[in-house]
Amino acid sequence: MAETTPTAEPTRRDFLFIATGATAAIGVAAVAWPFVAQLAPDAEVIAAGAPIEVDLAPISEGQIVRVFWRDTLIFVRHRTAEEIEQAQETPLSDLPDPEPDSDRVVEGREQWLIVYGNCTHFGCVPLDFQGQYRGWFCPCHGSVFDTSGRIRSGPAPINLPLPPYEFVDDTTIIIGEAA
Amino acid sequence: MKKTLILAGALIAALAMPSGAALAAGDYVKPPRHSWSFSGPFGTFDREQLQRGFLVFRQACASCHGLEYVSFRNLAEPGGPEFTPGQVEALAADFRIQDGPDSSGEMFERPGEIADRWPNPFRNKQEAAAANAGKAPPDLSVMAKARTFERGFPWFITDMFTQYTENGVDYINAFLQGYVDPPEDLDILAGNHFNLYYPGQIVAMPNVLFDGAISYTPEGSDRPVAPETVAQYAEDVTAFLMWTAEPHLEQRKRIGFQVMLFLLVFAGLLYFTKKKIWGRLGEDGAPEYRA
Amino acid sequence: MSTHSPTYVPKSAGAKWLESRLPIIGLVHSSFVAYPVPRNLNYMWTFGAILMIMLVLQIVTGIVLAMHYTPHADMAFSSVEHIMRNVEYGWLMRYLHANGASMFFVAVYIHMFRGLYYGSYKAPREVLWILGVIILLLMMATAFMGYVLPWGQMSYWGATVITNLFSVIPVVGDTIVTFLWGGYSVGNPTLNRFFSLHYLLPFMIFGVVLLHVWALHVPGNNNPTGIDVKTKKDTVPFHPYMTVKDTFSATLFILVLCWFVFYMPNYMGHADNYVPADPSITPSHIVPEWYFLPFYAILRAIPNALLGVIAMFAAIAVLAFLPWLDTSRVRSGSYRPIFKLFFWLFVVVNLGLGYLGAMPAEGAYVIWARILTILYFAHFFVFLPLLGLLEKPKALPNSISESVLKKSGSGMPQGAAAKPQDA
């Protein structure tokens, strides 16, 4: 009878209990996975995020055009000579996130700046040509970007990031990459 | 008051199952059972068959029926016909897809992309109906699950144990081969056709499959990969429709087997654990809980 | 006898801090750890735990589905197909939810018939039983509205027929139906409100389930002998005895659920619901989900629409009055030889009504439906009241432990089994 031998196995968990408990734990983890996985972008959303082609020809100098890839805003900016010069001549020591302008544009096509259009602080869309450097100014918390899309002052920690893109010819770019 | 009467009438009519149902249910032949590669707990699709089925769909069905829940990309995904991505891109590019509006507000046409849905043959249901003597051909995406036939007692019970779930495909397969000569005394109105397996046996859809009409001979070969017969066409396109209706069938059955195996092991362990714990009960009952 | 205290004593400083402010661990401990249950409960008593698991499964899969579903008449059907095709494991979520609903009803019907057989509705458990009837009604409403959401042909026409049931109410019927629809027929507003309520009701079920458990824990469980717990010897603590038994039973139940989910996920549904809703064509053979079929058969058995609807609702409502319709003092059917026969007759009547509910309402089917409907109500209004007065029950055992030990132990000295309760 069980209680006549209280010292026989009072605390020892035998193999059976461990095996059952471990199996239960594996089961719970396996069940949890699909419930987490369903949160990921679904196949249609992924498929809809195919690269897009942008025709640069109609974008005149000094103009900023907004395009979307994967539902994310991208600025395509046709920079003026003055804006390019300003971006190139800013000393790196002035930059919170130092990065030369040449790293942010394609060599020989410096007039085209292509950057993500959401402020790197908390994602608001900065206003075109605003702020001290006539790049962008974010109305939410006052981040100021220059004509290379680099953060100059305000709370945004890093420069506006560059989406993956490449020039097909002089006036056409493909933005994005396969998922 | 009148509305009450109408509603009550509709209700009674709906509940009483008017004789039309009986008539429709009475006059048809039960489809014969066919053997499918995807039936049973370990069933998988036959890729070659799905590819042939797609060919039949495209040549015999697609001019009237849509496939709106299938995207081009699906045709290359695992568990389906598994065309190569290149083949699917080329296929999609054959179609002109309406897109837009562009920056000037105009709709425009562009070549299809793999993310596009299979284009409908008609712009809308009204056009489909107008082009087909008043009856719009139904979309085929989930057709294999949308059709069935009465199994009757006791089969609807035994089906649970034998996992017979191929009612829909057995019906479609039989239906596609069911265009036989009508009985002499049957009057069929113009635009209607006789089909052995259709409930009521009078159907608006004409026969579309004919021996040899669709070539199964690959380019650069002189022999077909499968018999070019109505029976083969019907089977292939039906299998294809099963895949369009249930694109994750293979994944489902594969995971199912793992789950069943796990649950059996777990239940076995629990059985012995339970026995062990309950075995501690003394005969005079006083239970002792030990942490 | 045991040195372990049945009440929870917090050990750590944190647990003590919490316990003196919100004694929730103690509550859980006394309800699901130390809670004494009769030691002779058979596997029929594991369905309470199974139902709890099923409710949680339905709520969790339902929340996931709601993340991907679109409650709009133009998009509902295609959003369900979107879930089936594009969402990662979406097919699994939907098939779990759809088949889970069916298996939920399998479990609840077994749970109810167990209560009917062992007299679990009798004093002092009337409130427990009535709360169960309320849960059943809420479940039915939830399941019905859930079946409308895919917006297939069966969804649409099921909604049309069932909402039209209310049109038989004199004077205000039409207005009620229009208000249910939010339009002049079943349409987008109907779908929207059904979605809203389908999301709400499970949480109401959850609330009533908590009351149900509370009402269970006051008198304690009934048991196969139907006699009251007399001493501690008659009971075992819930944990680990019932937890391990419930888990084992639930695993087998989930095995059955998975059989359907993975191998025949559409077996319990209707092919017509894969045809998008079309207000201009009614499917030739409309039937509700299988779990409504017995009630549907009763509805159709009666030629008058108003009386049919009343009979259908009465068939469920009568359950609430069961504690007072059954006049027998003996709880368990095991000790009632004639009741046992009528119980199984009642089971057959329900299965028969279920079968007839799926058949067309014509010819012999109607006659049979009427006979079985009469038998259904006779069970409550004639057989049960009379049986209690006329039947001579078998002798009851003295105690639960006596009945257990008699059954299990041949090597048991008789004296030990009949030992008076001195613990």
Q: What percent of chain C has pLDDT over 70?
A: 94
Say yes or no: C254 contacts chain A, CB-CB below 8 A. Answer: no
Residues of C in contact with B199 (CB under 8 A): 284
Q: From residue C310, give the alpha-carbon distance in Å to each of B117, C141, C284, C303.
A: 49, 17, 26, 12
Residue C280 pLDDT exceeds 90: yes
Give the pLDDT confidence score for residue B20 in this predicted structure.
35
- Per-residue model confidence as pLDDT tens digits over C362-379: 899 999 999 999 999 999
Sequence-ordered list of residues with C-beta below 8 angstroms from that of C283, at least 6 positions apart, any chain: C153, C154, C157, C272, C275
Q: Which one, of C4, C419, C33, C37, lies nearest residue A6 by Cα?
A: C4
Contact C263 B165 (CB under 8 A): yes
Mean pLDDT of A79-97: 95
Helix axes C13-21, C24-32, angle to 10 degrees: 90
- Per-residue model confidence as pLDDT tens digits over B67-97: 999 999 999 999 999 999 999 999 999 999 9
Chain A, 5 to 64: residues with Cβ < 8 Å from chain C are 24, 34-35, 37-40, 42-45
- Return the residue matching tokens 């004296």: C415
Distance separating alpha carbons of residues A48 and B99, to the nearest angstrom: 13
Mean pLDDT of C42-53: 97
Residue A57 pLDDT exceeds 60: yes
Side chain identity, residue B173: N
Q: Which one, of B212, A33, A72, A178, lies nearest residue C89 by Cα?
A: A33
Give the pLDDT confidence score for residue B10 in this predicted structure.
43
C-beta neighbour count of B265 within 10 angstroms: 13
Question: Mean pLDDT in chain A?
Answer: 91
| Residue of chain B whose Cα is closest to the Cα of A7 | B290
Distance separating alpha carbons of residues C119 and C326, to the nearest angstrom: 9
Please, which pLDDT band fits residue C407 given cuts at 50, 70 and 90?
Answer: low
The CATH superfamily holding the domain A46-175 is Rieske [2Fe-2S] iron-sulphur domain (2.102.10.10)
The reply to whether A78 belongs to the active site is no
Question: Per the structure block, which two tokens stand in for B213?
Answer: 């009409």
Please, which pLDDT band fits residue C361 given cuts at 50, 70 and 90?
Answer: confident
Distance separating alpha carbons of residues A73 and B235, to the nearest angstrom: 48
Write the DSSP symbol of residue B57.
I
Give the pLDDT confidence score for residue B7 in this predicted structure.
45
Chain A, 94 to 153: residues with Cβ < 8 Å from chain C are none
Distance separating alpha carbons of residues C19 and C37, to the nearest angstrom: 25
Beta-strand relationship, A64-69 and B96-99: unpaired
Chain-centre distance for alpha carbon C186: 28
Q: Which one, of C31, C26, C27, C24, lies nearest residue C49 by Cα?
A: C31
Give the pLDDT confidence score for residue C408 in this predicted structure.
56
Give the pLDDT confidence score for residue C285 in this predicted structure.
84
Give the pLDDT confidence score for residue B283 in this predicted structure.
54
Selecting from C85, C167, C235 the residue whose C-beta is nearest the C-beta of B247 gives C85
Q: What is the DSSP string of B58-123?
A: IIIITTT---TT-BGGGGGSTTTT---HHHHHHHHHTSEEEE---TTS--EEEE--TTSBPPPSSS
Distance separating alpha carbons of residues C230 and C212, to the nearest angstrom: 23
With 0-12 CB in 10 A as exposed, 13-18 as middle and 19+ as buried, what is C257? buried
Residue C282 pLDDT exceeds 70: yes
- H-state helical runs in chain B: 2-16, 19-26, 47-56, 85-93, 125-131, 143-146, 155-162, 167-176, 230-245, 249-279
Residues of C in contact with B153 (CB under 8 A): 355
- Per-residue model confidence as pLDDT tens digits over C166-178: 999 999 999 999 9
Q: How would you write chain C as a 3-class SS string?
A: CCCCCCCCCCCCHHHHHHHHHCCHHHHHHHHHCCCEEECCCCHHHHHHHHHHHHHHHHHHHHHHHHHHCCCCCCCHHHHHHHHHHCCCCHHHHHHHHHHHHHHHHHHHHHHHHHHHHHCCCCCCCHHHHHHHHHHHHHHHHHHHHHHHCCCEHHHHHHHHHHHHHHHHCCCCHHHHHHHHHCCCCCCHHHHHHHHHHHHHHHHHHHHHHHHHHHHHHCCCCCCCCCCCCCCHHHEEEHHHHHHHHHHHHHHHHHHHHHHHHHHCCCCCCCHHHHCECCCCCCCCCCCCCHHHHHHHHHHHHCCCHHHHHHHHHHHHHHHHHHHHHCCCCCCCHHHCHHHHHHHHHHHHHHHHHHHHHHCCCCCHHHHHHHHHHHHHHHHHHHHHHHHHHHCCCCCCCCCHHHHHHHHHCCCCCHHHHCCCCCC
Residue A13 pLDDT exceeds 80: no
Chain A, 48 to 77: residues with Cβ < 8 Å from chain B are 48, 50
Contact A44 C60 (CB under 8 A): no
- Per-residue model confidence as pLDDT tens digits over B192-222: 999 999 999 999 999 999 999 999 999 888 8
Give the pLDDT confidence score for residue A14 in this predicted structure.
83
Give the pLDDT confidence score for residue C410 in this predicted structure.
42
Distance separating alpha carbons of residues B247 and B237, to the nearest angstrom: 15
Residues of A in contact with C67 (CB under 8 A): 38-39
Interface B-C: count of C-beta contacts within 8 A:
177
With 0-12 CB in 10 A as exposed, 13-18 as middle and 19+ as buried, what is C176? middle
Q: Which one, of B7, B77, B114, lies nearest residue B243 by Cα?
A: B77
Please, which pLDDT band fits residue B282 given cuts at 50, 70 and 90?
Answer: low
Residue B2 pLDDT exceeds 90: no
Distance separating alpha carbons of residues A152 and A18, to the nearest angstrom: 59
Distance separating alpha carbons of residues C319 and C145, to the nearest angstrom: 23
C158-C269-C55 Cα angle (round to 5): 90
- Per-residue model confidence as pLDDT tens digits over C325-342: 999 999 999 999 999 999
Please, which pLDDT band fits residue A47 given cuts at 50, 70 and 90?
Answer: very high
Sequence-ordered list of residues with C-beta below 8 angstroms from that of C296, at least 6 positions apart, any chain: C287, C288, C312, C357
Residue B276 pLDDT exceeds 80: yes
What's the alpha-carbon Rg for chain B, to the nearest Å?
A: 26
- Helix, strand, coil % in chain A, rounded to nearest 5: 25, 20, 50
Please, which pLDDT band fits residue C210 given cuts at 50, 70 and 90?
Answer: very high
Helix (H, G, I), strand (E, B) or coil at A176: coil
Q: What percent of chain C has pLDDT over 90?
A: 89
Q: Which one, of A136, A116, A111, lies nearest residue A126 by Cα?
A: A136
- Return the residue matching tokens 């039960």: B30
Residues of B in contact with C252 (CB under 8 A): 267
Distance separating alpha carbons of residues A38 and A127, to the nearest angstrom: 36
Residue C83 pLDDT exceeds 50: yes
Mean pLDDT of B11-17: 40
Distance separating alpha carbons of residues C383 and C327, to the nearest angstrom: 10
Residue C413 pLDDT exceeds 90: no
Side chain identity, residue B75: L
User: Domains (ranges, CATH) in chain C?
Assistant: 26-405 (1.20.810.10)
Query: Taking a C-beta distance cutoff of 8 angstroms, is the pair B34, B173 a contact?
Result: yes
Helix (H, G, I), strand (E, B) or coil at A128: strand
Please, which pLDDT band fits residue C348 given cuts at 50, 70 and 90?
Answer: very high
- Per-residue model confidence as pLDDT tens digits over B219-234: 888 899 999 999 999 9
Contact A38 C85 (CB under 8 A): no
What's the alpha-carbon Rg for chain C, to the nearest Å?
A: 24
Contact C64 A35 (CB under 8 A): yes
Distance separating alpha carbons of residues C309 and C304, to the nearest angstrom: 9
Helix (H, G, I), strand (E, B) or coil at A46: helix
Contact C86 A44 (CB under 8 A): yes
Write the DSSP symbol of residue A2.
G
Question: Mean pLDDT in chain B?
Answer: 88
Give the pLDDT confidence score for residue B8 in this predicted structure.
45
Of C403 and C167, which is predicted with more confidence? C167
Give the pLDDT confidence score for residue C401 in this predicted structure.
83
Question: Mean pLDDT in chain C?
Answer: 93
- Per-residue model confidence as pLDDT tens digits over B97-152: 999 898 899 999 999 999 999 999 999 999 999 999 889 999 999 999 999 998 98
Of A145 and B280, which is predicted with more confidence? A145
Query: Taking a C-beta distance cutoff of 8 angstroms, is the pair B233, B56 a contact?
Result: yes
Active-site pick, A141, A142, A157, A168:
A141
Question: Per the structure block, which two tokens stand in for B25?
Answer: 């249910």
Give the pLDDT confidence score for residue B17 in this predicted structure.
37
Contact A11 B276 (CB under 8 A): no
Handedness of CA C225, C230, C236, C242 (dihedral sign): positive
Which region among A7-21, C77-91, C147-161 has the lowest average model confidence (pLDDT)?
A7-21
Question: Per the structure block, which two tokens stand in for A140?
Answer: 């939410």
Residue B16 pLDDT exceeds 80: no
With 0-12 CB in 10 A as exposed, 13-18 as middle and 19+ as buried, what is B72? buried
Highest mean pLDDT among B15-24, B63-72, C396-405: B63-72
Contact B289 C165 (CB under 8 A): no
Residue C201 pLDDT exceeds 80: yes
Query: Taking a C-beta distance cutoff of 8 angstroms, is the pair C381, C325 a contact?
Result: yes
Please, which pLDDT band fits residue A179 given cuts at 50, 70 and 90?
Answer: low
- Return the residue matching tokens 């506006």: A160
